Chain A
Amino acid sequence: MTLRPARLFLYLILAVFCVYYLLPLYVMLVNSLKPLSEITSGGMMALPGDWTTAAWTNAWSQAQVGVEATGLKPYFMNSFLMVVPAVAIATLMGALNGYVLTKWSFKGATVLFGLILFGCFIPFQIVLIPMARALGFLGLAGTVPGLIFVHIIYGISFSTLYFRNYYAAFPTELVRAAEIDGAGFFTIFWRIMLPNSGPIAVVCVIWLFTNIWNDFLFGASFADYDSQPMTVALNNLVQSSTGVKEYNVHFAGAIMAALPTLLVYIVAGRFFVRGLMSGSVKG
Chain B
Amino acid sequence: MKYKMMSRLMASAALVCAGASAQAADVEVLHWWTAGGEAAALNVLKEDLSTKGVGWEDMPVAGGGGEAAQTTLKARVASGNPPTAAQLLGMQVREWAQEGALGDLTQAAEAGGWADVVPGALKDFAMYDGKWVAVPVNIHRPNWLWINAAIFEENGLTPPTTWEEFNTVAQTLKDKGITPLAHGGQPWQDATVFDDVVLGIGGADFYRKAIIEADMDALGSDTMVQVFDQMRTLRGFVDDNFSGRDWNLATAMVLNGEAAMQLMGDWAKGEIIRADMVPGEDILCVAAPGTEGSYLFNTDFFAAFDVSDDNRDAQMELASAVMSPSFQEAFNLVKGSIPARTDVSPEKFDACGQKAMKDIVEAEGNGSLLGSLAHGHGQTSAVQRAIFDVVTEHFNSDMSSQDAVEELQIAVESAAM
Contact = CB atoms under 8 A, between A and B. Distances in A.
A binds B: yes
A242 interface: yes
Contacts of A193: none
14 contacts: A67-B58, A68-B46, A129-B78, A133-B80, A138-B13, A141-B76, A143-B16, A225-B59, A235-B61, A236-B61, A237-B34, A240-B32, A242-B35, A244-B274
A236 B80 contact: no
Given A67-B46, A241-B64, A129 B74 contact: yes
**Most chain-A CB neighbours within 10 Å: which of B12, B74, B78, B252?**
B78
A54 interface: no
Contact of B62 (A93, A132, A222, A235): A235
Interface residues of A, number: 48
A146 B10 CA distance: 9
Given A145-B16, A241-B64, 12 more contacts: A68-B58, A69-B39, A69-B40, A132-B76, A132-B79, A138-B13, A143-B13, A146-B13, A235-B62, A235-B68, A242-B335, A244-B274
Contact of A149 (B9, B64, B80, B252): B9
A235 B63 contact: yes
Contacts of A66: 34, 39, 58-60
Given A146-B13, A226-B57, A241-B35, A136 B270 contact: no
A244 B248 contact: yes
B42 interface: yes
A143 B40 CA distance: 27
Contacts of A217: 71
Interface string B128-169: 000000000000000000000000000000000000000000
B350 interface: no
B43 A67 contact: yes
Please list the 4 inter-chain residue pairs (A to B) with the smallest Cβ-Cβ separation, ordered nearest first. Answer: A243-B35, A136-B79, A240-B35, A141-B79
B365 interface: no
Interface residues of B, number: 52
Interface string A115-157: 0000000000000110111011011111111101100000000
B246 interface: yes
A222 B2 contact: no
Contacts of A149: 9
B364 interface: no
Interface in B386-403: none
B12 A145 contact: yes
A40 interface: yes
A64 B14 contact: no
B32 A142 contact: no
A89 interface: yes
B59 A145 contact: no
Contacts of B9: 140, 145, 148-149
Nearest to B65: A241
Interface string A198-240: 0000000000000000000100111011101000100111111
A219 to B, nearest CB: 10
Contacts of B58: 66-68, 225
A239 B252 contact: no
A244 B65 contact: no
Contacts of B34: 64-66, 236-237, 239-240, 243
Contacts of A191: none
A7 interface: no
B14 A139 contact: yes
Contacts of B5: 89
Interface string B249-292: 00010000000000000010011001000000000000000000
